[in-house]
Amino acid sequence: MASSVELTGRAEERSSLRDASIWRRYAYAWITAAFFFITIAGHWIFGWFAYVDQQRQQGAPVEVSGYVVEMSRDTFENWQSEFLQLLWQVGGLAFLLYVGSPQSAEGDQRVEAKVDALLRILDPKEAERLIGDIDRRFDRHQ
């Protein structure tokens, strides 16, 4: 059984994360953004070289406007087929779980009921106090 000291330690860890800098709190997002900007820059830089070669082979003038149109088209084609699909699968699911869709709420409520029942079995004298403390700490109201 997890003691109240262990539970307090976990709550303090979460609290310290909330107090951390924006760089630490959102480190995954910053790394993902860096990967995104590095790869999109590489895509457009190497796309420029390919566009220049293609225009020279066809004897056509190299124009920035033509390059921007072609690269925008290629970029949006890639995003439509890959990025947006993945974004919906991961981001949409995460959002639905976060806002508490009926499917996610059922699972959470079921798990909480089981944990509460286990606490009541393992420590009948202290269970209600411990459950109340946890609910207050995590802003849960029954």
- Give the global pTM: 0.48
pLDDT of residue 62: 94
Residues in the chain where the model's pLDDT stays below 70? 1-18, 100-107, 140-142
pLDDT of residue 15: 61
pLDDT of residue 86: 84
Residue 50: HSE in the Cβ half-sphere, 13 Å Cα cutoff? 10
pLDDT of residue 39: 94
Burial 5-40 (b: 16+ CB within 10 A, else e): eeeeeeeeeeeeeeeeeeeeeeeeeeeeeeeeeeee
pLDDT of residue 32: 92
Residue with tokens 């190497």: 46
Please give the single-letter amino acid code of residue 124.
P
